[in-house]
Amino acid sequence: MLSRKENVQSELILYTMDDLVPEDSLFRKIDKYIDFSFIYDEVKDLYCEDNGRPSIDPIVLFKLVFIEALDGLKSMRKTCEKIKVDVEYRWFLGIPFGQETPHYSTFSQNYIRRFKGTDIFEKIFVNIVEQAIKYNLVKGETFFTDSTHKKANANKNKFYEEVQQVVHERKEWLEKEINEERKKQGKKEFDFTDKIEEKKVKVSYTDKESGYYHRNNKEKGFMYLDHRTVDSKANIIVDCYVTKGNIHDSVPFIDRAEYIKNKYGFNIKEWALDSGYDTLDIKKYFEENEIFGVIGYRRYQQGETTVRKYKFKYNSEGDYYICPETGIILPYTGRIDRNGYKYYSDRENCKGCSEIEGCCEAQGYRVIRRHIKEELNEKSRERRISERGKQLYKLRKEKIERSFADSKQNHGYRYAMYKGIEKNQNYTWLICAAQNMKNIVTKITKGHKKRDTNNKSRLKSLKNILLDFKIAIFPKNIKSPRKNIWGLSIV
């Protein structure tokens, strides 16, 4: 029989908004476990007290961005369109049907008039992290840091070239040690000055604050770079710092590490990084702060020699190298260059060596370079190849890479919707705060589910015990009563 569905589009139904929102809704969980009331205290100085029209609730304003981030919606306009018809969004915002929803320009106008140039976005992010700490989801001892590129809202083909002067950052602590070594050798100290280099840089007509990123086998274009750090316990993001896309990964690391330590008071014990962070400054920072730092291996260019440097044994007391083939000693020549490399060689003893062709290069004798702070490299290598180092580096891929993948796949983080570093930084605080909220409630409710499952298992076990007891008391040839002697129903 052919049946036709009746038109019920105009049918009246009696339900509350609470009835229509599923029990396992993400927004219901966030509303239960995340406290947003702190926002009132943070923004009260940004509002007029006695004059002006009544404003929209500031919590509702920020929840608009959280909805956009949590569901990976493309724009605030699209978000506000969905809020009109989505009962889950209305419930989360506390706006019943029949009441007008915010216009899509509401948040942008509040941003321009109230929030721009303030630290309210950072405070919201930090408060969410602190709530994660209270839920015991942040241990504060082991961290993973990396960076990811986010495409700027700019056409990669519309740019002009500008000559910029780049001042190379100096390592004053290293320069001091180099000159001390020169003094020991009775040589004149180096006169270190700022190294200024002129570079042709591509500048976008659309977004001048973005940076042009180009690398082999990578997509080229104008980008922003998110330097992110996550905690090992529950993958909570504890820092997200935005720079131009052409800034090297290692440049802001030490400043952000100090920021994390001072902001939350963590006792940091371990830190895992990829090979892009392989710098002396970072290794020195780890040593000075007693942090077990693991940095990925970087493959440096090797010469044509077949007898590698690592085969030569270094004697720290005598400050010389020992040849692995003949046992010849290669002493320190007293030469140290401006980069801090000391040179070791023995021209005469190398001449009669049988391995001279495979060991020595064009000069006819072996020269080994050793950095004045080579012990930092050696300690870093020892940590990297240790069992704990291997575990941490493996975890790094699982933790920080998963955080980036979640942001890009589920929270609309592949492209920058706004122009300028400040605005991108502010929205990154909010997007990462939303991602942390999801992570917090997921971990909490996951624990609740395990307890519920265990309770059901215990109840089932108790039922089976009672059933066995019934069979033991009332054999099959005796008709068992509905209830046993304690009045418990056996079902």
| pLDDT tier, 477 (very low <50, low <70, confident <90, very high otherwise) | very low
User: Using CA atoms, how far apart are residues 83 and 100, in angstroms rounded to an integer?
Assistant: 10
Domain that holds residue 99: 17-118
Same domain? 223 vs 315: no
| pLDDT tier, 449 (very low <50, low <70, confident <90, very high otherwise) | low
Return the pLDDT at 1. 61
Q: Which two tokens stand for residue 371?
A: 């950095």
Given a cut of 60, whether residue 93 has pLDDT beyond it is: yes
Residue 199 within a domain:
yes
Same domain? 33 vs 172: no
Return the pLDDT at 52. 63
Same domain? 276 vs 193: yes
Tell me the mean pLDDT in the region 53-72.
90
Return the pLDDT at 353. 79
Residue 34 within a domain:
yes
Given a cut of 80, whether residue 252 has pLDDT beyond it is: yes
Same domain? 272 vs 407: yes
User: Using CA atoms, how far apart are residues 323 and 332, in angstroms rounded to an integer?
Assistant: 14
Residue 273 within a domain:
yes
3-state secondary structure at position 328: coil
CB atoms within 10 A of CB 168: 9
How large a percentage of the chain has pLDDT more than 70?
A: 87
Given a cut of 60, whether residue 265 has pLDDT beyond it is: yes
pLDDT digits (tens, 9 = 90+) for 202-236: 999 999 999 998 877 778 899 999 999 999 999 99
Residue 473 within a domain:
no
HSE, side-chain direction, 13 A CA sphere, residue 71:
20
Return the pLDDT at 488. 43
Return the pLDDT at 489. 41
Of the listed ranges 71-85, 204-218, 453-467, the one predicted with least confidence: 453-467
| pLDDT tier, 461 (very low <50, low <70, confident <90, very high otherwise) | low
Question: Taking all residues of the chain, what is their mean pLDDT, rounded to a whole number?
Answer: 86
Of the listed ranges 209-218, 310-319, 412-421, 482-491, the one predicted with least confidence: 482-491
Same domain? 264 vs 405: yes
Residue 132 within a domain:
no
Return the pLDDT at 378. 92
Between residues 300 and 400, the one the model is more confident about: 400
User: Using CA atoms, how far apart are residues 165 and 201, in angstroms rounded to an integer?
Assistant: 10
Of the listed ranges 98-107, 247-256, 404-413, 474-483, the one predicted with least confidence: 474-483
Of the listed ranges 24-33, 72-81, 214-223, 463-472, the one predicted with least confidence: 463-472
Tell me the mean pLDDT in the region 165-175.
86
Local structure of residue 190 (DSSP, 8 states): P
Q: State the residue for tokens 């190849």.
A: 385
H or E element at residue 160: strand 159-167
User: Using CA atoms, how far apart are residues 418 and 294, in angstroms rounded to an integer?
Assistant: 35
Same domain? 49 vs 194: no
Mode of pairing for the β-strands spanning 313-315 and 211-213: unpaired
Residue 490 within a domain:
no
Query: First-to-last CA distance in the chain?
Result: 43
Return the pLDDT at 98. 85
pLDDT digits (tens, 9 = 90+) for 337-354: 999 999 998 888 887 777
Return the pLDDT at 417. 86
Q: Phi, psi (5° rounding) for residue 221? A: 155, 180
Same domain? 197 vs 86: no
Return the pLDDT at 12. 76
Given a cut of 80, whether residue 459 has pLDDT beyond it is: no
Tell me the mean pLDDT in the region 292-303.
82
Q: How many domains does the chain have?
A: 3
Of the listed ranges 212-216, 416-420, 442-446, the one predicted with least confidence: 212-216
User: Using CA atoms, how far apart are residues 170 and 479, in angstroms rounded to an integer?
Assistant: 93
Return the pLDDT at 48. 73
Return the pLDDT at 216. 74
Same domain? 357 vs 384: no
Same domain? 325 vs 203: no
Return the pLDDT at 21. 92
| pLDDT tier, 447 (very low <50, low <70, confident <90, very high otherwise) | low
| pLDDT tier, 467 (very low <50, low <70, confident <90, very high otherwise) | low
| pLDDT tier, 145 (very low <50, low <70, confident <90, very high otherwise) | very high
HSE, side-chain direction, 13 A CA sphere, residue 183:
6
Given a cut of 50, whether residue 485 has pLDDT beyond it is: no
Same domain? 113 vs 244: no
Between residues 91 and 53, the one the model is more confident about: 91
pLDDT digits (tens, 9 = 90+) for 232-242: 999 999 999 99
Residue 220 within a domain:
yes
Tell me the mean pLDDT in the region 73-84.
92
Given a cut of 50, whether residue 149 has pLDDT beyond it is: yes
Best CA proximity match to 407, nearest among 377, 388, 430: 430
CB 151 within 8 A of CB 225: no
Residue 300 within a domain:
no
Q: State the residue for tokens 């943070």.
A: 42
Same domain? 383 vs 330: no
Same domain? 143 vs 282: yes
